[in-house]
């Protein structure tokens, strides 16, 4: 595995046993090159994030110095856009809804009895984080994406295929692109909020956002002019 395929994960959790438990599962069950860092407070986590680039963040809702929603806000204010998964023992639809509004990719209740379900969820998060991490390497190459007609058509096709939700493998097949190329477009679309990832099955699905639907309309207008 190359350096580019390594992944840095931050777990913000005040309970050391919870951290050790999750770390053990990740190291034993997830066959990836990952480094897991622990922060027990929000203040400590922000210090870590300012000094190191993380590819994925696991976040407990209840921390000694700040709650999970506020730490998400502070992380985003710092210009840090790593995917965040909120993992907590405290449930509640209101908390989950607020977390999603702040940009978490998923909200998971701690349930250490159902190990298989936990492992399945972790696999989904890791695969998504690797996809987003690898996409960063191509950002400069597609920075002028909106100026290229062919690229616009590829992006539009991808968004159309994802209107009702689609797995990455299906998206790859329908787009008729190689794996590395589709990763570039997926990363670009998610970064600009045209696509959203949702946990469903082992690899999750991608679905076009309302912003992506508006972009589809604009691309249609532009490509008609360029035809």
Please tell me whether residues 124 and 148 are part of one structural domain. no
Please tell me whether residues 87 and 162 are part of one structural domain. no
The CA distance from 191 to 71, in Å, is: 20
- pLDDT score recorded for residue 40: 95
CATH number, residue 18: 3.40.50.2300
| Reported pTM | 0.67
Name the residue range of residue 201's domain.
140-226
CATH number, residue 187: 1.10.10.10
Please tell me whether residues 194 and 130 are part of one structural domain. no
Binning pLDDT at 50, 70 and 90, where does residue 223 land? low
Please tell me whether residues 71 and 146 are part of one structural domain. no
pLDDT exceeds cutoff 60 at 32? yes
- pLDDT score recorded for residue 16: 92
Binning pLDDT at 50, 70 and 90, where does residue 144 land? very low
CB 165 within 8 A of CB 206: yes
Which of 1-5, 6-10, 31-35 is the most confident on average? 6-10
Please tell me whether residues 145 and 222 are part of one structural domain. yes
Please tell me whether residues 101 and 125 are part of one structural domain. yes
Please tell me whether residues 148 and 102 are part of one structural domain. no
DSSP state of 145: G
Cite the beta strand spans of 15-79 per DSSP E: 34-39, 56-59
pLDDT tens digits for 82-138? 889 998 776 677 888 888 888 888 888 876 677 777 888 888 888 888 777 765 554
Q: Select from 136, 151, 174 the last residue of a domain.
A: 136
Please tell me whether residues 106 and 165 are part of one structural domain. no
Please tell me whether residues 53 and 86 are part of one structural domain. yes
Q: What is the 3-state secondary structure (H, E, C) of 157-187?
A: HHHHHCCCCECHHHHHHHHCCCHHHHHHHHH
Number of domains in the chain: 2
Please tell me whether residues 131 and 194 are part of one structural domain. no
Answer with the residue of higher pLDDT: 12 or 5: 12
Residues 6+ apart with CB under 8 A from 221: none
Please tell me whether residues 171 and 208 are part of one structural domain. yes
Q: Select from 80, 101, 136 the last residue of a domain.
A: 136
Please tell me whether residues 206 and 168 are part of one structural domain. yes
Q: What is the mean pLDDT of residues 18-32?
A: 82
Q: Select from 112, 136, 160 the last residue of a domain.
A: 136
């Amino acid at each position: 595995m190359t350096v580019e395929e390594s992944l840095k994960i931050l777990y913000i959790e005040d309970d050391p046993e919870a951290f050790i438990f999750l770390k053990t599962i990740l190291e034993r069950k997830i066959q990836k090159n990952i480094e897991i860092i622990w922060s027990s407070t929000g203040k400590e986590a922000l210090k870590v994030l300012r000094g190191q680039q993380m590819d994925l963040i696991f976040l407990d809702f209840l921390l000694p110095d700040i709650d999970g929603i506020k730490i998400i806000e502070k992380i985003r204010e710092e210009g840090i856009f790593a995917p965040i998964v909120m993992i907590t023992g405290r449930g509640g639809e209101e908390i989950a809804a607020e977390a999603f509004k702040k940009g978490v990719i998923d909200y998971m209740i701690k349930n250490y009895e159902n190990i298989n379900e936990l492992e399945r969820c972790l696999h989904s998060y890791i695969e998504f984080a690797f996809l987003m991490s690898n996409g960063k390497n191509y950002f400069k190459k597609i920075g002028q994406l909106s100026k290229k007609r062919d690229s616009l058509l590829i992006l539009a096709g991808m968004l159309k295929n994802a209107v009702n939700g689609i797995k990455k493998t299906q998206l790859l097949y329908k787009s008729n692109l190689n794996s590395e190329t589709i990763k570039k477009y997926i990363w670009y679309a998610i970064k600009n909020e045209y696509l959203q990832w949702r946990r469903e099955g082992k690899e999750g699905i991608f679905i076009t956002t309302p912003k992506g639907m508006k972009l589809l309309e604009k691309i249609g207008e532009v490509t008609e002019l360029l035809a």
